[in-house]
Amino acid sequence: MTRILDGPSISFGVAALGVLILSWSTRRDVDLRPCRIIAATLCISWLSTKLLAMAIGWEATYHLFPLIDFVILLQVLLVWWFIPERWLQVQIFLLLTKLVLHAIYGMQTVHYVMLSKFWYIATNNVLFGLELACVAFPGGWPIIRRFGDWMSGAGDLHRRLGLSRWGPPFSSKK
């Protein structure tokens, strides 16, 4: 029997919650409605898989992963239909990749495809992490950009003080 709330599982839950908080706390001049919707969906999917695993066990929960990912894919497609953005296309690609992974893992008993449970879970976790990163990008990019502007502002201060390597230390004007 595997533990349901182990370290990696809790870290994915914290990451999903962090992406949701990031999408709600960023500046309001950027339209992050699709980001908020998908972040909430990923949080709900993480929580639902944990609750299902507690209720019916991990082995039965694995068979529900394709259904959960298909519902998420339909929601992402619906959001993309009304608000087309490039990161949603990446999200659709990641979800389609997960559905192919589920199909390969499900066919292993029928067609003798050799995909161990460890690689299935590891690949599924990596794809979920990439989904979280993809959803965090629209909300996180303004923060990264502001941090870069702040850092470049510090560079301007160094140039004004004459500490820059690329220009003369002092102006020739008096």
Assess if residue 102 is contained within a domain: yes
What's the residue count for the chain?
Answer: 174
Domain count, the chain: 1
pLDDT band at 30 (very low <50, low <70, confident <90, very high): low
CB 95 within 8 A of CB 72: yes
In a domain, 99, yes or no: yes
Residue 169 lies inside a defined structural domain of this protein: no
Total-model pTM? 0.74
Q: Is residue 165 part of a domain?
A: no
Q: What is the DSSP string of 2-45?
A: --SS-HHHHHHHHHHHHHHHHHHHS-TTS--HHHHHHHHHHHHH
Q: What is the dihedral of CA 47, 8, 121, 87, to 10 degrees?
A: 70
DSSP 85-101: -HHHHHHHHHHHHHHHH
90 located within any domain: yes
Q: Is residue 12 part of a domain?
A: yes
**Which H/E stretch holds residue 114?**
none
Q: What percent of the chain has pLDDT over 90?
A: 18
Q: Give mean pLDDT, residues 125-151.
A: 80
Specify the 3-state DSSP secondary structure of 168. coil
Q: What share of the chain is helix, strand, coil (3-state, %, to 5)?
A: 80, 0, 20
Per-residue model confidence (pLDDT) at position 164:
46
* pLDDT, position 174: 43
Whole domain around residue 144: which residue ranges? 7-160
* pLDDT at 163 > cutoff 60: no
pLDDT at position 172, please?
43
User: Is 172 domain-assigned?
Assistant: no
CB 42, CB 16: distance < 8 Å: yes
pLDDT over 60 (residue 1): no
Task: Give 32-56 pLDDT, tens digit per residue.
Answer: 788 888 888 888 888 888 888 888 8
Share of the chain above pLDDT 70, in %: 72
In a domain, 2, yes or no: no
pLDDT range class, residue 127, cuts 50, 70, 90 = very high
